[in-house]
């Protein structure tokens, strides 16, 4: 596939010291994981927006737990794709680099990303919904979901709608957006807050914004350059351009 890199994009890449990459479920689509809204109707015609809430867990803990188990069981069967791997390589070419992912699938870590934060938690971790302790090994129990020693129900360590994001993680992402010279948004519908505001923060602080998505999003107008297509194909080409621009600078 051919991609046109505008001269101001190449210039922005060459001069950039700080780079922030925001990713969403679309970056894991080519690994075979459904996107967040793509799961609609996939599982017992549940709506992810309704299931990923504390209310749903309070009313129907078994249903919510099993939905996460169904998603969790897929993780060992899928691999990071070229998009994850290109993003992991990008770390080396900027003095300051941060990957901010909304995804909970752990594929960025498996692709080698180290300078990263997870805004919405991680599907491989569990915690107690009452006392909050992390649960390393699930107790064997015929109750679903199993319970913590304190009696509280165990839940996935992910951020549900209506829940605060981890304070320190959000602050780190916000600060990175404030000081970014280059901001990539890859595979997110830019609907969920506060993640979707990071691009605005970066723009207000003078960053050059690039969006990579299968289709236009609500925020496409905010971006200096929009690449429409698959992240697994486009990100390796962007990495090539970064390597060239940095070699020349
Ligand atoms: C908060 C973890 C403060 C769980 C997720 C009313 C009450 C309470 C809150 C709100 C409210 N109204 C609004 C809010 C704020 C709310 C929100 O943003 N709602 C939206 C829907 C309007 N946000 C919150 O509640 C956040 N907390 O605000 O706290 C607060 C507290 C109390 C009261 C008020 C405020 C918490 C948000 C976190 C929710 N948890 N995930 C789980 O995963 O089960 S979010 C969930 O959506 C996933 O993390 C997902 O990553 C994320 C964003 O979705 P996307 O990643 O963009 O995925 P999506 O499917 O939408 O899009 C995929 C994109 O990829 C598409 O554009 C597609 O074109 C593209 N694509 C597909 N294939 C490819 C591709 N692109 C490239 N290549 C491909 N191959
Ligand atoms: Zn507990």
pLDDT tens track for 146-187: 999 999 999 999 999 999 999 999 999 999 999 999 999 999
Pick the residue whose CA is nearest to atom 74 on ligand 1. 26
How far apart are alpha carbons 191 and 175 in whole angstroms?
A: 21
Ligand 1, from 32, 36, 126, 215: best to mutate by most atoms within 8 Å of Cβ?
36
Does 150 share its domain with 237?
no
Does 25 share its domain with 55?
no
**Pocket-forming residues, ligand 1, beta carbon under 6 Å:** 24-26, 29-30, 35-38, 52, 102-104, 120, 158-165, 187-189, 191-194, 213-215, 217, 230-231
Does 52 share its domain with 101?
no
Per the residue annotation, which of 120, 153, 155, 203 is the catalytic one? 120
Told to judge if 84 belongs to the known catalytic residues of this protein, a careful annotator would answer no
Does 222 share its domain with 239?
yes
Domain with 153 in it? 34-77+126-158
Does 245 share its domain with 134?
no
- Read off the pLDDT of residues 48-83 as tens digits, 9 standing for 90 and up: 888 999 999 999 999 999 999 999 999 999 999 999
- Number of residues in the chain: 249
Q: Return the SS3 of 231.
A: helix
Contact between residue 13 and residue 242 where contact means Cβ atoms under 8 Å apart: yes
Does 229 share its domain with 144?
no
Ligand nearest to the CA of 36: 1
Does 96 share its domain with 21?
yes
List, in sequence order, every residue forming a beta bridge with 124; answer none if it has no partner.
none
Mean pLDDT of all residues belonging to the chain: 95
- Read off the pLDDT of residues 74-125 as tens digits, 9 standing for 90 and up: 999 999 999 999 999 999 999 999 999 999 999 999 999 999 999 999 999 9
Predicted model pTM: 0.96
Does 186 share its domain with 202?
yes
Does 242 share its domain with 191?
yes
CA 189–ligand 1 middle distance (angstroms):
8
Number of domains in the chain: 2
CATH assignment at residue 60: 3.30.1600.10
Burial 137-156 (b: 16+ CB within 10 A, else e): eeeeeeeebebbeeebbbbb
Q: Return the SS3 of 84.
A: helix
| Vertex 164 angle, CA 162 and 170, to 5° | 135
């Amino acid at each position: 596939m051919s991609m046109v890199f505008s001269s101001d994009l190449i210039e922005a890449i060459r001069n950039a010291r700080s780079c922030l990459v925001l990713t969403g479920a679309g970056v894991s689509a080519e690994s075979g994981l459904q996107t967040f809204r793509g799961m609609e109707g996939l599982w017992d015609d549940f709506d992810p927006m309704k299931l990923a809430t504390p209310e749903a867990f309070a009313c129907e803990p078994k249903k919510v737990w099993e939905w996460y188990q169904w998603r969790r069981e897929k993780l060992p069967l899928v691999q990071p794709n070229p998009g994850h791997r290109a993003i992991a390589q990008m770390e080396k070419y900027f003095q300051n680099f941060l990957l901010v992912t909304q995804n909970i699938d752990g594929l960025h870590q498996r692709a080698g990303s180290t300078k990263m934060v997870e805004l919405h938690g991680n599907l491989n971790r569990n915690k107690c919904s009452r006392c909050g302790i992390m649960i390393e090994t699930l107790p064997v129990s015929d109750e679903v979901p199993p319970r913590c020693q304190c009696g509280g129900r165990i839940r996935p360590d992910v951020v549900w709608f209506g829940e605060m994001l981890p304070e320190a993680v959000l602050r780190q992402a916000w600060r990175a957006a404030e000081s970014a010279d280059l901001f990539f948004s890859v595979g997110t519908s830019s609907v969920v807050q506060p993640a979707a505001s990071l691009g605005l923060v970066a723009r207000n602080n003078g960053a050059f914004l690039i969006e990579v998505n299968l289709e236009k999003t609500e925020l496409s107008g905010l971006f200096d350059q929009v690449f429409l297509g698959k992240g697994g194909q486009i990100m390796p080409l962007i990495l090539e351009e970064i390597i060239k621009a940095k070699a020349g600078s």
